[in-house]
């Protein structure tokens, strides 16, 4: 009964935030060239190869020259590949457009769904908020709570 009350509470919290929909006039259509890792992609934006960092989420790292492999990093990267590689998506920007590493910051819409949120909801990422880019943070937090409660993805496999 407590779980049902929690689910009802979380669903109510999401509904109170309003429906999740992109800011349609501001969507920029692009094609994903390749997924770099769970939260970074390369897209073709007006004929330019642009690196996109997904706003509001952080996936575990895959081993690289500057990082060590983290629990569920490989799985998060594979999930993002399956979800986004070669797909036509739309970018939505927030207040800041570029991060300190010169990556373009964006929300990624895929078939009417926010991919950033889906990655969190399925347990492949945690919420990582860096104001002022906080447009969908409440949705991301609700998705993370549910994923954690249901032991999805990294929540069921990593400490």
141 given a catalytic annotation: no
63 given a catalytic annotation: no
Catalytic hit among 26, 34, 48, 61: 61
Per residue in 48-83, is it b (16+ CB within 10 Å) or e — as a string? eebbbbbbbbbbbbbeeeeeeeeebbbbbbebbbeb
Structure tokens at 71: 């629990």
Catalytic hit among 92, 103, 117, 144: 103
61 given a catalytic annotation: yes
Question: In terms of DSSP bridges, do strands 40-45 and 104-110 run parallel, antiparallel, or are they unpaired?
Answer: unpaired
Nearest to 108 by CA among 37, 43, 17: 43
Catalytic hit among 2, 3, 26, 53: 53
Structure tokens at 150: 């249901």
* Beta bridge partners of residue 57, listed in sequence order: 127
Structure tokens at 33: 């060239």
d(CA 41, CA 34): 6
Structure tokens at 47: 């004929």
Residues with a catalytic annotation lie at 53, 61, 103
């Amino acid at each position: 009964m407590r779980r049902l009350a929690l689910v009802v509470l979380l669903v109510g919290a999401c509904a109170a935030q309003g429906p999740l929909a992109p800011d349609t006039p501001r969507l920029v259509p692009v094609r994903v060239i390749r997924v770099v890792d769970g939260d970074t992609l390369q897209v073709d934006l007006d004929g330019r190869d642009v690196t996109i960092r997904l706003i509001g989420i952080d996936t575990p790292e895959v081993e690289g020259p500057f990082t060590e492999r983290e629990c569920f990093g490989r799985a998060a990267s594979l999930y993002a590949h399956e979800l986004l590689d070669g797909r036509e998506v739309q970018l939505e920007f927030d207040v800041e457009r570029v991060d300190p590493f010169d990556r373009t910051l964006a929300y990624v819409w895929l078939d009417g769904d926010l991919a950033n949120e889906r990655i969190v909801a399925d347990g492949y990422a945690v919420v990582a908020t860096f104001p002022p880019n906080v447009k969908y943070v409440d949705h991301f937090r609700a998705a993370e709570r549910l994923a954690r409660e249901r032991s999805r993805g990294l929540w069921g496999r990593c400490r």
